[in-house]
């Protein structure tokens, strides 16, 4: 759903995108900075959630800090007519944190369904992947383990605004 955001909505999203203060009345200071009441802050948050702009409001957990140091992207080569079925099935597992499909590049890259798993060790990821493979009868997959996290962030209202700006502001990488 494409919601139309007014200036206060954008300012509010900018205020909360990095988290809210852990105080008794976290929306009071935000409301003051926005020039609205705390009740209107909550009302706007509810409307943004109902419209699909805000998917959820909760904590962000770092897998490494809760004993899940291994993560992998599993790329699957799924028959096109089964992508939705298998994606929906894999999405039901709590171990799957991301699940999405992408177009293939015929002759170069035939994998079209991707999931992300986090675990205590590689063996668990391999065991889960075999279990998923057996359950779906899809045997063509690659497990791509992360070796180093270079950047991990969520989309923000500022990112969305920046994405509308010309990308040639960035200098090319030197090789």
Q: How does strand 70-76 pair with strand 113-119?
A: antiparallel
Give the start-to-end residue ranges of the domains of the chain: 7-58, 63-145
pLDDT of res. 170: 45
Cα–Cα–Cα angle for 98, 103, 108, nearest 5°?
110
| Separation of alpha carbons 38 and 32, rounded Å | 8
Q: What is the CATH number of domain 63-145?
A: 3.30.70.3460
| Separation of alpha carbons 72 and 117, rounded Å | 5
Q: How confident is the model at residue 72 (pLDDT cuts 50, 70, 90)?
A: very high
Residue 92 has pLDDT above 70, yes or no: yes
Residue 165 has pLDDT above 60, yes or no: no
| Separation of alpha carbons 22 and 102, rounded Å | 39
Which CATH architecture best describes the domain 7-58? Orthogonal Bundle (1.10)
Q: Is the pTM of this model over 0.85?
A: no
Residue 45 has pLDDT above 70, yes or no: yes
Q: How confident is the model at residue 139 (pLDDT cuts 50, 70, 90)?
A: very high
């Amino acid at each position: 759903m494409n919601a139309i955001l007014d200036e206060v909505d954008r300012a509010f999203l900018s205020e909360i995108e990095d988290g809210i203060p852990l105080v008794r009345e976290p929306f009071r200071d935000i409301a003051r900075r926005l020039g609205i009441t705390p009740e209107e802050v909550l009302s706007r948050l509810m409307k943004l959630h109902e419209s699909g702009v805000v998917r959820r409001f909760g904590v962000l957990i770092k897998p490494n800090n809760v004993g899940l140091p291994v993560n992998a992207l599993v790329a699957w080569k799924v028959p096109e007519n089964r992508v939705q079925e298998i994606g929906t099935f894999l999405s039901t597992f709590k171990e799957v944190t991301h699940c999405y499909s992408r177009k293939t590049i015929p002759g170069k890259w035939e994998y079209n369904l991707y999931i992300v798993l986090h675990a205590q060790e590689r063996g668990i990821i391999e065991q889960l992947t075999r279990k998923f493979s057996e359950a779906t009868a899809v045997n063509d997959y690659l497990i791509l383990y992360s070796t180093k996290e270079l950047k991990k962030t969520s989309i923000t209202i500022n990112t969305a605004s920046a994405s509308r700006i010309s990308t040639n502001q960035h200098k090319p990488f030197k090789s």
